Amino acid sequence: MKKSAFWLLSLLLVMSVFLAACSGGGEKANTEKEPKDDGKASGEVKEGGTVTFGYTQPFKGVLSFAYYEGEDDVNALQFMHEGLLKVNDELISEPNLADYELSEDKTKLTFKLKQGVKWHDGEELTAEDMEYAWYLIADPTYEGARFANVAMIKGAQEYKDGKADKIEGIKVVDDYTIEVTVTEPSVNLLENIWIYPEPKHYYGDISSKELPDADQIRKAPIGVGPFKVKNIVPGEMVEFERFDDYWQGPAKLDGVVYKIIDGSLAQGLVQNGEIDVIEAPKDQWEAIKALDNVNPVEADAMSYSYIAFDWGHYDTKKGVVVSDNKKFQNKSLRHAMAHAIDRQAFIDGFANGLGKPLNTPFPSVSWAKIDDSEINPYEYDPEKAKKLLDEAGYVDKDGDGFREDPEGKPFTINFDAMAGAETSEARAQFILQSWQEVGLNAKLNGGSLKDFNLFYDTIEADDPSVETFMGAWGLANDPDPAGIWLSTDKWNMWRWYNEKSDELIKKGVTFPEDASKDVTEHRQEVYNEWQKLVNEELPIIFFEQRVDPWAINKRVGGVKVTPFGTDEFHKWHIVE
Amino acid sequence: MLQYTIRRLIGMIPIIFLISVVVFTLAKLMPGDALSGKIDPLNSDPEYIEEMREQMGLNDPIPVQYVRWMSGVVQGDFGDSFVHKRPVMELIGDRLPNTIILGISALLITYLLAFLMGRYSGRFAYSIGDYLISAFNYLALAIPSFVAALVAIYVFAINLGWVPASGSIGSGVEAGTLEYYLSKAKHTVLPAIVLGAMATAAYTQFLRNDMIESSRKDYVRTARAKGTKESAIYNKHILRNSIIPIVTLLGFDIANLFGGAIITETIFTYPGIGYLFVESVNSRDYSVMMAIAMMLTILTLIGNLVADLLYGLVDPRIRLS
């Protein structure tokens, strides 16, 4: 007996020491915080200094636009290289390193490069560097994912297939002028064509296949951007220093450090200044936003999440979707399921309010987004949902609390969502309960969430158990819905076939018949019609558009946040 | 002994073969592949994904894929990482030094603490100090390493600012300078302590129990009877005998040393083998994942052999045959 009492006592002792240590640390944090927020509000621009840009996934180190694959690498690339064009605030391409001109018949695009743009090794950027980039990507041995961005160039496909030893449509006129002929006119050519030059003189004779593993990309990559690479610690950190010959004038900062951290530490590292600029993890946003040394910026993102209904399967032989699933053909059912969900409460509860409900597949930052007054907002209204279901014949006939289908057979809905985040389970339960409250017997497919890979495997394979699922898409700046929405698209995950929709999508990338009409206006009209169609048909429940939270230390100024990340790196500066 | 070693090594071959089948099968049973993560209209299109699956042979029957992989492995070629676009061996080679530095530092901390605590506990068994030490040991054993890591980072890196919170090296230091090594040490010390100090329980209790047992032995009674000083009995006679089981544990630690600490490395963003392993499992980078799994398998087998050999060396009563 005596022994066990001893045990308990000693345990208590150890615990109390432990707890005391913890609370001591807490107090220390509070006292440290106070002097920090003195004189931060009004500051002056200071020359020099270094800013640390944080990210929460390790980078692969493929530092070339033609070969990189993930956001992890492009976060480093953005500091050191630029394209011939860039996207402006209206999400339309405009001249950057080059001016462009489109011929009368819209098939010939001429780029005129600015003179005096230097690579980091001092060589001048020439038209050959752009030609070289297109050749790298069209090379038969190229293993990257960018061929779609050069496929429209005349002769690129033949070159890739080894049928031609030159790409017919590329012509270097002089050092600063390059002409491209495309196979057919397209309204979004500027958004789709590859615009990142690669340093031909620097890569030398390395083949397109071996480049991604070459030191010229791995260890000492170069670009024409405001910062040049000084040091790379694989997977951990890239150090940049100012490039004095940058074509828009030298940057204000001495350097930038791109640093990988663990997401769970974001708040602490922003607080103690180890990280200056970071896209904050959403679950920590409440705490990070409140930090004294942080400028919180919330930017509408080009992405949205959705709950899809499963319409059928993809016919691989014919290459087209077949909407042969009878379950969700009733439009009132789909409308009712949308009205049953309180999307705003979901966003407030699970994403710290970082998001907005949306009702078409275009986020509000897109120029093609239809005015909200013209579409059905699908506001949260469980009574309306119940009414719609009653009218459609989905009523509870056997008194078990759940509705049966119009034929009186039991009606259940399988729901799939991805696991991963801490709140994944709760999110899924929220959706299920919303449906259950209007009398629909919804449950998790297989009783559990699926991890990312299993989720997409199951859905892409058109597994018969899949009935509804929650997913998300990130979008490019051009609004063209092809790639996801055409009936021939493999990524039409919900397998929705609609001729009218296909027709409008194709019409959206054609030039207006009346040549005097503004192209953007014409496209806007077409896309408005398409948005009204999908909004009414509701093949998927459009859920929310994302808002990206950025934490920027108050000592850093000039950081521009766009729907795609941060920008204008040469203007970043230290505020003192 | 040489004969024994050779026999053991030959005996490993079928085990390695069987494990390779298991590792490969388990890897292939996981849903998804390195290309599932590429579902993104911004960056690629479905044709590209199909083309790459075909090119990488992911559409071939599993046995064909296994034979292709195994024939490479036998020649020491683990293939290329799809995600990193580099040969797997290079990738592992890059990360190995970090992991070994961290592993050795952690092991030294474990041994040092366990030695001191075990010696004290063994000599003053059932004292308050002994209980406190056991309490600490079991508490440390019970606390999950990610909790320990987060608490340590929060207290020592973020609030006190003594050490950096993540990474293996600071910015702006040049390789080869004194500053570089200091920075490296500074970045390693916290993860090493978290790893090392939390794993003392087994070693401490081994040493303690062995010392208690030895102190009841005849030769100790004889020494006492002769009037040998108590401290000399413990530090010279008992300790020397009780260290033997600890030394043999070294063999088992070899695999740990190279395998890295998956959770600790991830939280500290410390680019070692453990971190690479998690990363490649998440992105279904099969070649990397299988290479690390195979490496750990072989090291564990070798570690067991080393443990047996060491036992024979330090303890003359054991004969290997």
Q: Is residue A218 part of a domain?
A: no
Q: Is residue A11 part of a domain?
A: no
Q: pLDDT tens digits for B41-72?
A: 666 677 788 888 888 888 888 888 898 888 88
Provide the 10 A C-beta neighbour count for residue A81. Answer: 25
For A55-86, the pLDDT digits (tens) are 998 888 899 999 988 888 999 999 999 999 99
All residues of chain A having their beta carbon less than 8 Å from the beta carbon of residue B131 are 6-7, 10
- Residues A265, A312, single domain; the answer is no
- Based on the fold, state whether residues A166 and A230 are members of the same structural domain: no
Contact of A56 with A261, CB cutoff 8 Å? yes
pLDDT given at position A483: 85
Q: How confident is the model at residue B260 (pLDDT cuts 50, 70, 90)?
A: low
ipTM field? 0.77
For B39-56, give the secondary structure using H, E and C.
Answer: CCCCCCCHHHHHHHHHHC
Q: Which residue of B33, B38, B45 is the best one to mutate when testing the A interface, meaning the one whose CB has the most A CBs within 10 A?
A: B45
- Chain A touched by B154 (CB under 8 Å): yes
* Mean pLDDT of all residues belonging to chain B: 85
Domain check: are A316 and A246 in the same one? no
Q: What is the pLDDT of residues A439-498, one digit of tens each?
A: 999 999 988 898 888 888 888 888 899 999 999 888 888 899 988 899 988 889 899 999
Tell me: pLDDT of A347 over 80.
Answer: yes
Domain presence at residue A115: yes
| Overall domain count for chain A | 3
Amino acid identity of A181? T
Same-domain check for residues A370 and A460: yes
- Cross-chain Cβ contact B36/A32 below 8 Å: no
- Specify the higher pLDDT residue, A25 or B225: B225
* Residue A20 located in a structural domain: no
Which DSSP category does A328 fall into? T
Based on the fold, state whether residues A510 and A372 are members of the same structural domain.
yes
The per-residue pLDDT for range A349-378, each reduced to its tens digit, is 888 889 999 999 999 989 999 999 999 999
Q: Tell me which residue range forms the domain holding A476.
A: 301-548
Mutate to test the interface with A, among B82, B266, B269 (most CBs of A within 10 A): B269
Question: Quick one: angle between helices A424-437 and A343-350, nearest 10?
Answer: 160
- How many C-beta atoms lie closer than 10 Å to residue A137's C-beta? 26
Establish if A217 belongs to a structural domain: no
Q: Are residues A471 and A392 in the same domain?
A: yes
CATH number of the domain bearing residue A318: 3.10.105.10
In what helix (H) or strand (E) does residue A228 lie, and over which residues does it extend? strand A227-233
The one-letter amino acid code at A332 reads S
- What is the interface size between A and B, counted as CB pairs within 8 Å? 164
Q: Taking CB atoms and an 8 Å limit, are B266 and A262 in contact across chains?
A: yes
Question: Looking at A147, A175, A210, which one is the last position of a domain?
Answer: A210
For residues A496 and A321, is the Cβ–Cβ distance under 8 A? yes
- Contacts of residue A195, defined as CB under 8 A and 6 or more positions apart, other chains included, come to A83, A84, A85
The answer to whether residues A541 and A561 belong to one domain is no
Last residue of a domain, one of A147, A180, A210: A210
A438 part of a folded domain = yes
* Residues B114-146: tens digit of each pLDDT: 989 998 998 898 999 999 999 999 999 899 888
* 3-state SS, residue A308: strand
DSSP state of A404: B
Q: Note the pTM of the prediction, 2 decimals.
A: 0.81
Query: Within the 73-112 window of chain B, which residues sit less than 8 Å (CB to CB) from chain A?
Result: 83-87, 94-95
Say if residue A364 is in the same domain as residue A511: yes
Looking at the structure, give the CATH architecture of the domain made up of residues B90-275.
Orthogonal Bundle (1.10)
Mark which of A186, A210, A234 sits at the end of a domain: A210
Buried-state track A333-362, b at ≥16 Cβ within 10 A, e below 16: bbbbbbbbbbbeebbeebbbbbbbbbbbbb
Would you say residue A370 lies in a domain?
Answer: yes
Among B155, B4, B209, B152, residue whose Cα is nearest residue A26: B155
Alpha carbon A368 to its chain centroid, in Å, reads 18
**Domain assignments of chain B as residue spans, ordered by start:** 90-275
User: What is the model's pLDDT at position A376?
Assistant: 93
**Cβ–Cβ contact B222 with A under 8 A:** no
Bridge partners, B88 (sequence order): none
List the beta strands (DSSP E) in A317-438. 320-322, 355-357, 412-416
Distance of CA A248 to the CA centre of its chain: 28
CB A65 within 8 A of CB A86: no
Residues A312, A267 share a domain: no
